């Protein structure tokens, strides 16, 4: 399928190539801080804050920290803010 079918029409004119070379989804996710913060001049490394649901303590936060500590000896964020999500009327 085309990128516009997956990402929507706004991405139709942008060059897009689906990546199939994945080492590990958590490693790739945990490396995203370098791909984003080091390639966009309006951003700086480390990030001011990582914001995500509490289900990411053992996921994205941890993988980002492990990758960054192994490569930079420093966390990729200055602070972390987590939140609980409520789904539906009877969710706890």
Domains of the chain by residue range: 19-83
Average pLDDT for the chain: 82
CA quadruple 46, 47, 49, 54: dihedral, nearest 10: -90
Other Cβ atoms within 10 Å of 44 Cβ, number: 10
Model confidence pTM above 0.85: no
pLDDT of residue 86: 64
Query: Per-residue pLDDT tens for 11-50?
Result: 666 776 777 887 888 888 889 899 899 888 999 999 999 9
Cα 50–82–61 angle (5° rounding)? 50
Tell whether the model's pLDDT for residue 75 goes beyond 70.
yes
How many whole angstroms separate alpha carbon 90 and alpha carbon 66? 36
């Amino acid at each position: 399928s085309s990128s516009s079918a997956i990402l929507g029409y706004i991405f139709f004119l942008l060059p897009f190539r689906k990546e199939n070379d994945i080492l590990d989804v958590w490693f790739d996710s945990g490396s995203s801080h370098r791909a984003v913060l080091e390639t966009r001049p309006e951003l700086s490394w480390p990030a001011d804050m990582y914001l995500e649901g509490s289900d990411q303590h053992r996921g994205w936060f941890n993988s980002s920290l492990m990758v960054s500590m192994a490569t930079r000896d420093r966390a990729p964020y200055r602070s972390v803010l987590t939140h609980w999500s409520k789904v539906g009327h009877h969710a706890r």
